[in-house]
Amino acid sequence: MKSIHYLAFSLALALTFPAPGDAFTREKSGPQADVRAAHRAALAPATQQAGENNPGELSGRILYQVLLAEMALQRDRADLASQSYYDLAMRTKDPGIIARAVEIAGHVRQTDRALELVRLWVQVDPDSIRAQHVLINVMVLTNQFDGLASQMIRTLEADKEALPANLLSINRLFARTEDKRAVLQVVAKVCAAFTALPEAHYALAVAAATAGDSTQALSETQLAFERKPGWEAAALLEAQILAQQSMSAGIESIKRFLVSYPQARDARLYLARTLIGEKRYPEAKYQFEQLLVAYPNNPEVVYPVAILALQEKDRPLARAQLKHLLTLDVADKSTPNFYLGQLADEDKRSEEAIDYYRRVTPGENFLTAQLRIARLLADDGKLDLARSHLRDAAETNPAQSTPLIIGEAALLREAKQPAAALALLDQRLAVEPEQPDLLYESALLAEKLGRVEIAESRLRKLMALQPDNAQAYNALGYSFADRNINLPEARRLIEKALQLAPEDPFILDSLGWVMYRQGDLEGALAKLERAHTIRADPEIAAHIGEILWRLGRVDDAWRTFREALKKDPDNEVLSEAARKFAR
């Protein structure tokens, strides 16, 4: 006898009733073959019974009505099919036809009809486990809770072997029921019939927790644990319930359990992950180290150890565990390859980094990996190879082609080829004239080349397409401010950008710069210093140094330039500002 867990308790009615057209196999010989394939077994009892009374006549009529119903389904007239099967079910009282009628009624969401039919099904075939299961599902869906508990108890008792597993699954039956207090009442009645089983108390604890009754939930969890000492699932449930009130209480609960049962893997995993969520990294690392000793080849242990090591900047441990993860049977090897590429990248081992990055397949980290390969090749003087790599990646992954082209343009810009970079973006814009990133990047390049009309036109177009794009407003406002033109509009644009992104340091820098252009040096300095506090960017430092110089605070200006140049000696804007005000 199959368990309730397998057949129905994890299903809502929408899952219980698949699309009727999916229930039978299509044959090339037409609609009659569809009916024969789908209903030969179901019709046999009905037609046999009918044949005993009037051979050929009633059985032919049944077959004809089934044929009409199935043809209606094929023509998307499920309502007609449902009515036909309902009439046929009521006339024949055949379990197979009733089951099909229930299925179609459920598919068209005729829940009242489905309930009437399934009650008939149980009446004519009281030993049918499937009928009992479907009745329970329909009662839940229609919120028919009167008598539901007794029906569930009878069905549970019919399969003693599967009873514990089925008790654990009953809450999933009510996943879509909004009245969780009503669910608790039903589950309490059901579990009261099986109080000797720890699974009954566990199920009641879940229902109580879902209904917001943490006191009852904890009490039932304790009863479950008393009947089954060392039960890890009960310990985890208790910790989760406590964590809803206090994360520390949940952590302490699972810690106490682990003192008595140190080999409980899932509990220790839960503790380690919870500690990470609470940013208690040293404690989490200790728990993962314990797991690693016991389960050195378990990806669920190895992967979080590697990630935690990365967070804690324990590079040797991270590298070792990521490499080990690649030797295990895991579906996703792109992620460890990507992180290993980053580690090699940070250590200036370019060839090794490129090798790992090349193993990153399309997905979350694919774009970043390809851009880093190109950057490393370009830094090694292989600009043509870098560009070729990005083009190959774009060709094989069209969905990423635009950001890859923007990446190629960035390589050209940094190689002092802004005209070539703009030409590349213009070529792509001809294909995607309203692509926001292309408009923005090409506008910045156009301004750099002195083609300010193009820059302004594209930024205004971007603002029209994306009225909430703070960077578009900021870019045009800063362009005006930097050229010392249209200052009132520049300030309005930048203030609009700041409304959209209040803590953006570069927008604050732009506001400080336009205030400087308007003669408010003290106000400008305050904005720039706030921006520099958020992000110590060399160009913001250059602006601060210039304003300090204009205010007559020469020593402060030079101190600002020197400190910034120590961190970013190659920044052009900063170096130019320092030369401009050289003593």
Cβ contact 223:191 at 8 Å? no
pLDDT one-digit tens code per residue, 487-519? 999 999 999 999 999 999 999 999 999 999 999
Q: How far apart are CA 86 and CA 101, in angstroms?
A: 6
- What SS3 state is found at 306? helix
- For residue 350, which phi and psi values (nearest 5 degrees)? -65, -45
DSSP 248: H
Share of the chain above pLDDT 70, in %: 85
pLDDT one-digit tens code per residue, 386-441? 999 999 999 999 999 999 999 999 999 999 999 999 999 999 999 999 999 999 99
For residue 533, is pLDDT > 80?
yes
Residue 15 confidence (pLDDT): 33
Summarize the confidence of residues 111-140 as an average pLDDT.
75
Q: Would you call 43 exposed, middle or buried from its count of C-beta atoms within 10 A (0-12, 13-18, 19+)?
A: buried
One DSSP character per residue, 179-196 reads -HHHHHHHHHHHHGGGTT
Q: Would you call 52 exposed, middle or buried from its count of C-beta atoms within 10 A (0-12, 13-18, 19+)?
A: exposed
Cβ contact 254:270 at 8 Å? yes
Residue 30 confidence (pLDDT): 38
For residue 242, is pLDDT > 60?
yes
Residue 474 Cα distances to 418, 513, 545, angstroms: 21, 12, 22
Work out the mean pLDDT of the chain and round it to a whole number.
84
Which of the two residues, 581 and 267, has the higher pLDDT score? 267
Summarize the confidence of residues 39-50 as an average pLDDT.
42
Residue 56 confidence (pLDDT): 42
Residue 140 confidence (pLDDT): 75
Instruction: Write out the two tokens for 244.
Output: 């809803």
DSSP 228: S
Q: Which amino acid is at 580?
A: K
Instruction: Write out the two tokens for 533.
Output: 């506090």
Summarize the confidence of residues 556-568 as an average pLDDT.
91
In this prediction, residue 257 has a pLDDT band, given cuts at 50, 70 and 90, of: very high
CA angle 419, 420, 422 (to 5 degrees): 65
Residue 320 confidence (pLDDT): 94
Nearest partner of 239 among 230, 251, 227, judged by Cα: 251
For residue 33, is pLDDT > 70?
no
Q: How far apart are CA 517 and CA 572, in angstroms?
A: 21
Nearest partner of 175 among 141, 146, 144, 200, judged by Cα: 141
In this prediction, residue 127 has a pLDDT band, given cuts at 50, 70 and 90, of: confident
For residue 4, is pLDDT > 70?
no
For residue 583, is pLDDT > 90?
no
Burial 421-459 (b: 16+ CB within 10 A, else e): bbebbeebbeeeeebbebbbbbbbbbbeeebeebbbebb
Residue 579 confidence (pLDDT): 85
Q: How far apart are CA 442 and CA 425, in angstroms?
A: 6
pLDDT one-digit tens code per residue, 111-121? 777 777 777 77
Nearest partner of 523 among 514, 531, 512, judged by Cα: 512
pLDDT one-digit tens code per residue, 318-338? 999 999 999 999 999 999 999
Contacts of 25 (CB under 8 A, 6+ apart): 34, 37, 38
pLDDT one-digit tens code per residue, 8-31? 333 333 333 333 433 222 233 333
Helix axis angle for 436-448 and 452-465, nearest 10°, is 160
For residue 38, is pLDDT > 50?
no
For residue 380, is pLDDT > 70?
yes
Contacts of 506 (CB under 8 A, 6+ apart): 474, 531, 535, 537, 540
Task: Give the per-residue SS3 of 49-93.
Answer: HHHHHCCCHHHHHHHHHHHHHHHHHHCCCHHHHHHHHHHHHHHHC
For residue 552, is pLDDT > 80?
yes
Summarize the confidence of residues 69-88 as an average pLDDT.
68
Instruction: Write out the two tokens for 435.
Output: 């692509």
Please tell me the least confidently modeled range out of 96-105, 240-249, 464-473: 96-105
Q: How far apart are CA 563 and CA 548, in angstroms?
A: 14
Residue 72 confidence (pLDDT): 64
One DSSP character per residue, 474-542 reads HHHHHHHHHTT-SHHHHHHHHHHHHHHSTT-HHHHHHHHHHHHHTT-HHHHHHHHHHHHHH---HHHHH
